Structure formats: structure tokens, C-alpha cells
Amino acid sequence: MLPQTTLVLTSQVHEGGKIVAALTDMPLPAPGENDVVIAVEAAPINPSDLGLLFSSARIDDAVFAPGQVEAPVSPAGMAALAGRIGEVMPVGSEGAGTVIAAGSGAAAQALVGKRVATVAGGMYARHRVVPAASCMVLPEGTSARDGAAAFVNPLTAVGFVETLRSVGGKGIIHTAAASNLGQMLVRLCAAEGIPLVNVVRKAEQADLLKGIGAAHVVDSASPTFREDLRQALETTGADTVFDAIGGGPVLGTILSTMEQVGRAAAGAYSRYGSTARKRAYVYGMLDTGPITLPRDIGFVWDVSGWLLFPRMEELGPEVRARMQARVGQDLTTIFASNYKTQVPLSRVLDEDVVRDFTRRATGAKYLILPQE
Amino acid sequence: MLPQTTLVLTSQVHEGGKIVAALTDMPLPAPGENDVVIAVEAAPINPSDLGLLFSSARIDDAVFAPGQVEAPVSPAGMAALAGRIGEVMPVGSEGAGTVIAAGSGAAAQALVGKRVATVAGGMYARHRVVPAASCMVLPEGTSARDGAAAFVNPLTAVGFVETLRSVGGKGIIHTAAASNLGQMLVRLCAAEGIPLVNVVRKAEQADLLKGIGAAHVVDSASPTFREDLRQALETTGADTVFDAIGGGPVLGTILSTMEQVGRAAAGAYSRYGSTARKRAYVYGMLDTGPITLPRDIGFVWDVSGWLLFPRMEELGPEVRARMQARVGQDLTTIFASNYKTQVPLSRVLDEDVVRDFTRRATGAKYLILPQE
């Protein structure tokens, strides 16, 4: 027997300037012909999930009640949220669990009893009805914890490599490189033979990455950052930045240093700067301030927003299939995630929990366990 | 008889932080087999020429002597000039004049007596030896004034259109649009049926452009700028910015407004912003401050440096030939330039002249006449 209702974490923007996150019992719909019902066992909190859950709301000024958080949003923040006022939005882009029921379709029926992962959204829920086609069956013996983050970070890492290849780049510079994604990228680039320069902002993050075999790690908080970076760029020839940060000085410093290396290699002066190709893809906004590009970078540069699923569309069906297969094959090795803390779904809006996971600190990743 | 020496305007960066611009008699080399000797009759001062002549030197603090200007450069400015310290660089990217002598090669000999235009550099000179292959023969009856700016601005305008087409853009937003280049672009886009939104910063510039038939002109100094821009973007579907400015708020405002239009068209809310493609090419630095991109522009955007000759290389030989032919055909109509002032080469370093042309004001373009 399926339950009539199930516990779901939702986020709602209210006119007048607040976001309300709430744990609510909601009706569980019957699965359609090609749907499955997943008992969700594990779902990670990714930065993009925080974006949907709290957007730019001020957690410091939030009001906590059992199963509910109200947090104020500035007028500027509200402008960006105009499109979702009033809508009750389920949260949680990806997760893993066991299929406990299915529609009558053969593909859906074939998944009953299987442990699967999906990126269908709304996964911070005890149960979730999703299309069977959105599910990846996890290899026999894979835990829900190991399968919970099988899409966003792994596909992002593989997407960086595919993007690099599609533009003929020589190597990657990655910022906020000690993240779960960053660690995957270290292992993936090593396996693929792609030069990788890791930019971190703390000595212990540098140690962490060196510990898993990263060859080039530079610390943006070090007084020798620019010189260390210059040497790493010269050694590796890396020419393509994937930037998780956006605001602040790091991206600009990287581009300036790339241009400096390009000019030194060119020898002759040109008033327009070097012809060395400099590319940057901004895929995150750990710093929500404006992206700032200094003008000592010449005229041969491209800076773009980078978002996983639109990019996968662009790369085409063949590349997409290759990306998915690659992740499935190395899910518990190259693409393994680490979590600081596991938290039951029922406790995810507790004050101490919310205050901790909204800090977005490296190494502080949460895993939600909806069955506990 | 060719002269032994000729008057040349040069620029030299000195260690310790200054630029010296000087009018100097320099030896006139004998033409090689495939070279011609041009008696230069007219050469425009383009913003990029000012970049070579004075770079970031402070003209307010310059010291003027007959035929010579010394202007100080900040340490930051010097860093960008390290590659040219000591080198005496002739200035003047393009110009027109009459071929008065040539090497023995047939193509060179065929140009003797013809009025030609070239973008071979060093054109702020009474005489200039250049490869015959760099010359475009001006149509019979074309004055040197009309032919002097036959390359940089016209090819840039045509290059914008070719770039737009190569990326499948729907229309152009152009900043600092009242410039000579901007006026060409108004006429070219009208002829080609390309939607064009002109961004200016003064009411009289808006009037100027409307006077030559521009359909969409918005004034960034107007209190209704953002709303005017939004309406123009909605009406035209323009999605590709060509930005002459770089620093300051205008580019960011345009991208934000494009995103706002894209979100309104999409209807449904997405935490990642709209999927509307937003492209910007920064081809100038009228404001040398950093390029600043706000984060309310979603993740589907591309901002790139744009430099004429590397872009022409990218577009390929067929497109390049088409661009040159197009300019030749409409040189005195679509691609006509206007000048505020003509000045003899011998007077170009006079204090009042330098102070005026270094203001880089719209409608203040100078034409240098080396034979006067």
C-alpha cells in the first residue's frame, strides 16, 4: 500500500519580501503509466539547491519554528524572484532511493525493487513520483549514500572536460577547487591526462588536494599567489578557467596572469595585448558580487556563463550519452562524494542545521536522509 | 627624385614612466621590389591610434615643446607597456595618398600615380613605403579625405555584421553609437535589414542618429534609460551587444535588461535565469575601468573581447574578401567618415591640438594632412 501523503521540503516566496521554507505533508500522486514511486533514501544539498531553497534571503534574520523557516529578502533580491511569488516549490535536484511502486508500463515495472538515482527535482521528500526514464539504476550493492549525487557534480566535472575539448582548450584552471566537484575533477583530469591548475583559498584545502594527487595547487590567500599561478600556467599551458565564484578578484587575477604569460611567450609588444586565447566559464556564484574583468587582458578572451543542462543540450546526444556512461562506470571512484553530516529530512529545518549548511563552506556538504 | 628623409610622428616609452611623442625627420627607405612609396595626404586619428601614441599617459601633466610632447605614465600603466620600452614606434594605422614611386615588381609599378588607401601602419608621415599588396586603389575621383579611413571603421562595421551572422544573432545593440563607426553601422544595418539599437549618452547624439535615419536610439543619461532600452529590445529582438566602452555601468545594464526581457518572454520562473542567449563583444575601452557584469543575467551569456584583424582571420578568406569588396563599393555612402578638424602633420603635437583630440569626444574626430 502506498502512503496517501508524504513529507516534502518546499520553498515559497511571499510578496512583501520573505521566503518561507517548510516541511509539509503533501498528497502523494498515483504514478502514471511510465512513472515510478521512489522511497527516497539520500539526497545531497548542492549549492544550486540552496539557491532554490533560500535564494538571497538573510538567514541571520530568519525566524525559526518547528518545520518552518521564514527569512527576509531584500528588494533587489525580490526583483530576481518575481517569477516565483506564491508558488510552493519542492526542493532537491537529485537523490537516490528504492523503487517501491510503478505504473503499468514495462520500463517502469522493470525498476520495481531496484535502487535508482535521479535528477528529477523535488528529492527532499520521503517519497517521490518521477518518470522511469529519468532514473539511472545504480550498480548492484551501491548504497543510496554513494548514489545520491550521481548527476549534478559528476556530470559537471565531465561537462567541463567535454567543453574544454569542444573548444580545443589545453588545460583547466579550476577555482574553489577543494569542493566535492573539485576533488572529482582532480581524479577525472588525472585519468584523462588533462593538465589542471587548482585554485583554493586556504592552506588546508591545498593539502587536501595534494593528498589526493593534485599536481598543481595554488592558494589565492598566499602572498605569492600571482607568481605561483604564473608558474603553474607556464608549466601546464592551461588556458580555460572554470570558475565557481563569480564575484571578487580571483577570476580577474587569473585572466590577467594568463595574459601576462601570453605576452611573455609572444615576445614582441602589441598595443592590443597577446593573441593567446583566454577562456573562462563561470558556473557558480559563491560570491554573488559582480564579475569583474580588468582591462590588462588584451582583446582575445571569452567569458561565458556555464550551466550544466543547457550545455549538455549544446554538446548533443552522442556526447550526452558518453557523459552519462562515464559517470555510471566510475561512480564510487572518480565521482565519489564526501559529506560532513547526514541529517534526517525531519530535522533539516532545525536552526543549528540551517545555520550550518547555509554557510556553503568547503568540506561542509550535507546529505539528507528522508527515511530517517 | 625621392626625398632622403621624411617627417614622421613617433611614440616612445621611456623607462621610469613617460611617453615621448615626437615629429622627427627619419630616413625614407628605398622601396623593395614589391613596395610602393606613398605621399600620404590624409590619415584619421582613430581611438586605437591614440592608444599607441599616448597609451594611458596623463596629458594633463604633459610637457609640450616644439614637435615634442612628454607625458607621464603611472606604474600600473607602465606594466602594460613593458614590451615597448625604448622602441621608437611610428603611429597611424591607416591613411590615403598618391603613389609617387614603386619597386620594379609589376603590381607595384601598376600603382604609380594612383591614389590608394592602406592600413599598413606608420601613416602619420609625409611619405611611407608599404607593400603594394596592402594597398586598395581608390575609385577614380575619390579624395584622400574620403579614402583616408577606408579600413578600420568600415571593416569594423562590416565585421560586426559578419560576427552577428556567424553566431546566428538576431540584432545588434551598439554603444557609443554616435561615433563615426556608429553612424556607418546605422547605414549598414539599414541596408542589410538588421535590427539595431543605438545607445548614446547625450540628447544631441540621439538627435544626430535619428537625423540619419536610426529607428531605435536610447540615451543612457536619461532617467527612463532602462525602460526605453527594454522597449527597444522587445521591439527589435536584438541580442548581441558591440560595446566600445568596457568600463562603467552601461554594458551590465544592457545585459541585465536583456535578461529581464528574456525572463518576461519565458513566463515560468527558473532559479538559473532565462535561456535567452545574451552575447556581448567588447571592442573598445573608452572607459578603461574594469568590465563589470552583474549576476542578475542568468547563466546563458557570452562576453568576449573583439579585435578586428584577429576576428577577420577567424572568419576566413571568403568572408574577408566579401568584407573588403563591400567597403570598396560603398566607401563614400555607407562608410563615409566625418571629421571635426583637419590638421597639418607639422601641427599635430601643438598643445591645443593634443588637448583637444585626446578628449576622445564623439564628433571630435581629427584628420591629419601630412602634405600641408
B41 DSSP 8-state letter: E
Examine the pLDDT at B197 and tell me if it is beyond 70.
yes
Distances (CA, A) of B33 to B84, B99, B103, B105, B149: 30, 14, 4, 5, 27
- Picking from B239, B257, B233, the residue whose alpha carbon sits closest to that of residue B302 is B239
Residue B189 banded pLDDT, cuts 50, 70, 90: very high
What grid cell was written down for B252?
Answer: 551590465
Give tens-digit pLDDT for B234-292. Answer: 999 999 999 999 999 999 999 999 999 998 888 777 778 888 899 999 999 989 899 99
CB-based burial label for B193 (10 Å; 0-12, 13-18, 19+): exposed
Q: Tell me the pLDDT tens digit for each residue of B302-359.
A: 999 999 988 888 888 899 888 988 998 899 999 999 898 999 999 999 999 999 999 8
Would the CB atoms of B290 and A87 count as touching at under 8 Å? no
Segment A215-238 shows an average pLDDT of 97
Residues contacting residue B89 through CB under 8 Å, at least 6 positions apart: B10, B11, B12, B52
Residue from B203, B208, B237 nearest B220 by CA: B203
- CA dist B90 and B49 (Å) reads 10
CB contact under 8 A, B292 and A296: no
* Phi-psi category of residue B176: left, alpha or beta, with phi > 0 → left and psi -120 to 50 → alpha: left
pLDDT band at B362 (very low <50, low <70, confident <90, very high): low
Residue type, A15: E
B358 is written with which cell numbers?
585626446
Average pLDDT over residues B145-152: 94
- Per-residue pLDDT of B175-184, as tens digits, reads 999 999 999 9
CATH 3.40.50.720 correct for A152-314: yes
User: A126-149: per-residue pLDDT in tens?
Assistant: 999 999 998 999 988 899 999 999
B296/B93 Cα distance (integer angstroms): 39
**A257 Cβ partners below 8 Å, 6+ apart?**
A226, A229, A230, A233
Confidence band of B185 (pLDDT split at 50, 70, 90): very high
Here the cell at position B219 is: 540615451
Preferred mutation among A73, A166, A230, A269 to probe B, highest tally of B CBs within 10 A: A269
Are B294 and A293 within 8 A, CB to CB? Answer: no
Crossing angle for the helix pair A152-166 and A180-192, to the nearest 10 degrees: 50
Distance CA B272, CA A83 (A): 12
The mean per-residue pLDDT over the stretch B108-128 comes to: 96
In the predicted structure, residue A226 carries a pLDDT above the cut 90: yes
B1 has pLDDT over 80: no
* Grid cell for residue B40: 600620404
At B167, list the grid cell.
553566431
Residues of chain B with CATH 3.40.50.720: 152-314
Give Cβ neighbours of residue B205 (< 8 Å, ≥ 6 apart): B177, B178, B219, B362, B363
Is A201 in contact with A219 (CB distance < 8 Å)?
yes
pLDDT value at residue B364? 78
Q: Which DSSP helix (H) or strand (E) runs through B293?
A: strand B291-293
Residue B143 pLDDT exceeds 70: yes
Tell whether the model's pLDDT for residue A337 goes beyond 70: yes
Residue B194, pLDDT above cutoff 70: yes
For A178-207, the pLDDT digits (tens) are 999 999 999 999 999 999 999 999 999 999
Contact between A210 and A217 under an 8 Å Cβ cutoff? The reply is: yes
Pairing of strands A68-72, A18-27: antiparallel
Q: Which residues of A touch B87 (CB under 8 A)?
A: 269
The pLDDT confidence band at residue A264, using thresholds 50, 70 and 90, is confident
What would the grid cell of residue B214 be? Answer: 536610426
Q: Taking CB atoms and an 8 Å limit, are B305 and A300 in contact across chains? A: yes
CB within 8 Å: B305 and A306: no
Strands B135-137 and B63-65: unpaired
Are B166 and B316 within 8 A, CB to CB? no
Indicate the average pLDDT of chain A.
94
Question: What residues form DSSP beta bridges with A243?
Answer: A282
C-alpha to C-alpha distance for A84 and B245, rounded to whole angstroms: 35
- From chain A, the residues in CB contact with B305 under 8 A are 297-302
- Average pLDDT of the residues in A158-184: 96
pLDDT for B223 beyond 90: yes
Give the Cα separation of A61 and A68 in Å (integer).
14
**Position A166 pLDDT exceeds 90:** yes
With a threshold of 0.90, does the pTM exceed it?
no
CA distance A68 to A81: 20
For A102-130, how does the pLDDT look when each residue is reduced to its tens digit (9 = 90+)? 999 999 999 999 999 999 999 999 999 99
Cα gap B186→B177, rounded to integer Å? 9
CB-side exposure of B87: number of CA atoms within 13 Å?
Answer: 14
Q: Which residue has the cell 586619428?
A: B45
Phi and psi for A95 in degrees, rounded to 5?
A: 175, 180
Q: Are B91 and B49 in contact (CB under 8 A)?
A: yes
Q: Place A363 in a pLDDT band, splitting at 50, 70 and 90.
A: low
Cβ pairs A/B, distance under 8 A: 102
The span from the CA of B118 to the CA of B135, in Å, is: 5
pLDDT in tens, A292-303: 999 999 999 999
Residue type present at position B82: A
Q: Give me the pLDDT at residue A362, please.
A: 65
**A285/B290 Cβ within 8 A:** no
- Span B129-151, average pLDDT: 92
CATH superfamily of B5-149+337-369: Medium-chain alcohol dehydrogenases, catalytic domain (3.90.180.10)
Contacts of A290 in chain B (CB under 8 A): 252, 292-295
Angle at A345 between CA A342 and CA A349, to 5 degrees: 95
Which residues make Cβ contacts (< 8 Å) with residue B204, sequence separation at least 6? none
Start and end residues for every CATH 3.90.180.10 domain found in chain A: 5-149+337-369
What angle is formed at CA B298 by the lines to CA B232 and CA B245, rounded to 5 degrees?
55
The C-alpha of B357 sits at a distance from chain A's nearest C-alpha, in angstroms, of 19
Encode pLDDT of A40-82 as tens digits. Answer: 999 999 988 998 999 989 999 999 999 999 999 999 889 878 8
Largest separation between any pair of C-alpha atoms in chain A: 76
Q: Inter-chain contact B301–A305, Cβ cutoff 8 Å?
A: yes
Looking at CA atoms only, how far is residue B77 from chain A in angstroms? 9
% of residues, chain A, pLDDT over 70: 99
How far, in Å, CA of A68 to CA of A59, rounded? 13
Q: What ipTM is given for this predicted complex?
A: 0.86
Q: Looking at residue A117, what DSSP letter applies?
A: E
